[in-house]
Amino acid sequence: MTSSINKVLIIGNLGRAPELRYTPAGKAVATLSVATSSRRKNKQSGDWEDETQWHRVTLLGDQAEWAGQKLDKGRTVYIEGGLRYGAFENQQGVRIPTVEILASHIETFGPKKSQGEEGGESAQEHGRSQAPAMDDGTKEWIGEYDQA
């Protein structure tokens, strides 16, 4: 029996607030921009360099609604999901490949940053917060999302 796995796990910070939209059938879709960083030593200069990778994450259904209500720029999130590849054509007619993570699980870590205060703790929320699980109803309309 042949099996395969398409699973991604990332912990990173939101680069902006989630973009929440709805399909023509009224289903919620949220797009997140998540940054992950690593550090390495430059062999030539000996200096440490930070490298940031940006990930496009898509949430569907109740998870998308939750993200639109609970998440803000700078928030640390843990995401599980699978990679999805696609492409779009830009205004010059050039095909641009895309990669997204279709999230199946998302939760937050650490204190929520206060408005206008970097790294400050909010009295409203500390610790972890978890989105509702992706249910079978959401899994059924992923094909509709693909068409939107």
Greater model confidence, 90 or 123: 90
Instruction: Please report, for residues 11, 41, 77, 93, 100, the alpha-carbon distance to residue 54 in angstroms, rounded to integers and kept in the order given.
Output: 12, 21, 13, 25, 10
- The amino acid occupying position 141 is W
Percent of the chain whose predicted confidence (pLDDT) is above 90: 66
Distance CA 54, CA 32 (A): 10
Does the pLDDT at position 69 exceed 70?
yes
Domain membership of residue 61 (yes or no) is yes
- Segments forming the whole domain that contains residue 127: 8-147
74: left (phi > 0), else alpha (psi -120 to 50), else beta? Answer: left
Domain membership of residue 116 (yes or no) is yes
| Length reported for the chain | 148
Exposed / middle / buried, residue 4 (Cβ in 10 Å: 0-12, 13-18, 19+): exposed
Contact between 34 and 55 under an 8 Å Cβ cutoff? The reply is yes
Domain membership of residue 128 (yes or no) is yes
Distance CA 47, CA 41 (A): 6
Domain membership of residue 3 (yes or no) is no
Mean pLDDT of 40-65: 94
Q: What is the pTM of this model?
A: 0.76
Does the pLDDT at position 1 exceed 80?
no
Domain membership of residue 47 (yes or no) is yes
